[in-house]
Amino acid sequence: MNDTLELKQIPLSDADATWQSELKHAYRSASELRLALGLPPGDDRDYGFPILAPRPYVSRITKGDPTDPLLLQVLSNERESDEQLGFSTDPLDERDANPRPGVVHKYQSRQLFIATGQCAVNCRYCFRRHFPYSDNRVSRAQWRDNIRQTALNPSVNEIILSGGDPLLLNDDVLNELLNEVERHPSITRVRIHTRLPLVIPQRITDALIATLSNRRFKVIVVWHINHPNEIDEAVKFAALRLQQTGVTQLNQSVLLKSVNNAAVTLAELSERLFSIHILPYYLHLLDRVAGAAHFLVSDREAKLIYRELAEHLPGFLVPKLARETSGNYSKNTFGTDNL
Ligand code: SF4
């Protein structure tokens, strides 16, 4: 079956719901999330990082299973209050790499823009869960100025839109910003890091497709998918629509204890990603952010998992195992021998 036929036949989970209405009706407390999933009442604290879990994502969680790997990514856990040596609120020292509001300069040829401080899902392991987003709010005029300043730097040819989730910008704003990038030939790539089409696939609107299509520069969408169960028919449909615009689609995952720390799970993830036109790109070791220590997979275990993964898969489906280190201009990547 070709992709065009598949596109016509796969409905979205709720054809009437817009992505904005799905966001509005997302679960915002542990108690309502537990209730929706048939789980007994429990700890309702959010440990300083609000619960946020949209319904399309929650619909993929197995009801009544407190160990579901998707649930563990969005439900707060009393271990978030544990103090762990080596875990901090700014594990990558990003506050020192924040030359002006809205911009993080961590990499040599790329400039990272904090497009928004909001996300459509709050991932409990997020390394920016303590990031001072309120210091990084910028107006549209400042955004345009940041793009112009970036384009003046001869060593930078790529803009990375990160956040928060850049696809929370509405289509008009996104279009205006990408139109500004069009004016600066030195920028040859725009990369968009997002979890939004995963948690609310309806985000891939016709207007977004038009915004991303026919650009002078290459557009790369980097999905953040950690587990094969996160991919359902609606996600597949969203990826197929993006693929038809000609954007490059990559995925990065975080290696998370009790979520995906098994080679068989990661192999299945790679296979599913490839079947929906997304290439596995990075498998990150956890950034040591305060509140997420219970997700840590030891280096020793990571090495064993990665070796087994490499044995399971052809090379092009094996993501690079990577660790980000503060002050480095690129991620440290590991083969099966040098972790
Ligand atoms: S979507 Fe990304 S930035 Fe937002 S909470 Fe999840 S990991 Fe963090």
CATH number, domain with residue 186: 3.20.20.70
* Residues 190 and 249 reside in one and the same domain: yes
Look at 272 and 336; give whichever has higher pLDDT: 272
Res 336 pLDDT > 60: no
Sign of torsion, CA 167 215 279 159?
Answer: negative
Q: What is the mean pLDDT of residues 116-125?
A: 93
Predicted local confidence at residue 124, as pLDDT: 96
Average pLDDT, integer, range 35-63: 95
Q: For atom 6 of ligand 1, which residue has the closest CA?
A: 123
Mutation choice for ligand 1 from 47, 123, 161, 227, CB with most ligand atoms inside 8 A: 123
36 and 124 in a single domain? The answer is no
pLDDT digits (tens, 9 = 90+) for 149-207: 999 999 999 999 987 899 999 999 999 999 999 999 999 999 999 999 999 999 999 99
* Alpha-carbon separation of residue 158 from 115, 247, 270 (angstroms): 15, 15, 26
Q: Answer yes or no: do 72 and 126 share one domain.
A: no
Give the pLDDT of residue 1: 37
pLDDT for 84 beyond 90:
no
User: Ligand 1 in contact with 123 (CB < 6 A)?
Assistant: yes
Taking phi over 0 as left and psi of -120 to 50 as alpha, with beta for the rest, 93 belongs to left
- Residue 170 and residue 39 in one domain: no
Domain boundary pick from 81, 106, 137 = 81
Question: Of 60, 81, 102, which closes a domain?
Answer: 81
Is residue 196 in contact with ligand 1, taking CB distance under 6 Å? no
* Domain total of the chain: 2
> 198 in ligand 1 pocket by Cβ < 6 Å?
no
Q: Ligand 1 test: best mutation among 195, 224, 255, 289, most atoms within 8 Å of CB?
A: 195
CA atoms within 13 A on the CB side of 299: 9
Predicted confidence (pLDDT) per residue in 315-326, tens digit: 999 999 998 876
Query: Residues 210-233: what's their mean pLDDT?
Result: 97
Q: Residue 261 and residue 279: Cα distance in Å, rounded?
A: 19
Residue with the larger pLDDT of the pair 12 and 115? 115
Q: Is the pLDDT of residue 253 over 90?
A: yes
Looking at the structure, tell me whether residues 264 and 168 fall in a common domain: yes
Task: Tell me how long the chain is.
Answer: 339
Instruction: State whether 116 and 256 are in the same domain.
Output: yes
5-29: pLDDT as tens digits: 343 333 334 557 899 999 999 999 9
Range of the domain at 176: 94-334
Q: Is pLDDT of 77 > 90? A: yes
**What is each CA distance from 245 to 44, 116, 180, 287, in whole angstroms?**
42, 24, 20, 33
Instruction: Assess contact for 192 and 221: CB atoms under 8 A.
Output: yes
137: confidence class by pLDDT, cuts 50, 70, 90: confident
Nearest CA to ligand 1 atom 8: 126
pLDDT at 2 over 90: no
Q: Is the pLDDT of residue 334 over 80?
A: no
State how far the Cα of 203 lies from the Cα of 294, in Å rounded to an integer: 31
36 and 170 inside one domain: no
* CA-wise closest residue to 285 among 265, 268, 306, 270: 306
Structure tokens that stand for 262 in this block: 């098994």
154 Cα: distance to centroid of ligand 1 (angstroms): 30
> In this predicted structure, what is the pLDDT of residue 4?
37
Residue 12 lies in a domain: no
Q: Is 43 exposed, middle or buried (0-12, 13-18, 19+ CB in 10 A)?
A: middle
Q: Is the CB of 121 under 6 A from ligand 1?
A: yes
C-alpha span between 251 and 334 (Å, rounded): 17
> Which DSSP string corresponds to 18-44?
-HHHHHHTSB-SHHHHHHHTTPPP---
For residue 273, the model assigns a pLDDT of: 98
pLDDT of 307 reads 96
Residue 131: pLDDT over 80: no
Q: Is the pLDDT of residue 333 over 80?
A: no
- Which of the listed residues 81, 105, 133 is the one where a domain comes to its end? 81
Q: In what order do the strands lie in the sheet with 320-323?
A: 103-104, 110-116, 158-163, 189-194, 218-223, 248-254, 279-284, 320-323, 332-334
Structure tokens belonging to residue 122: 């709050």
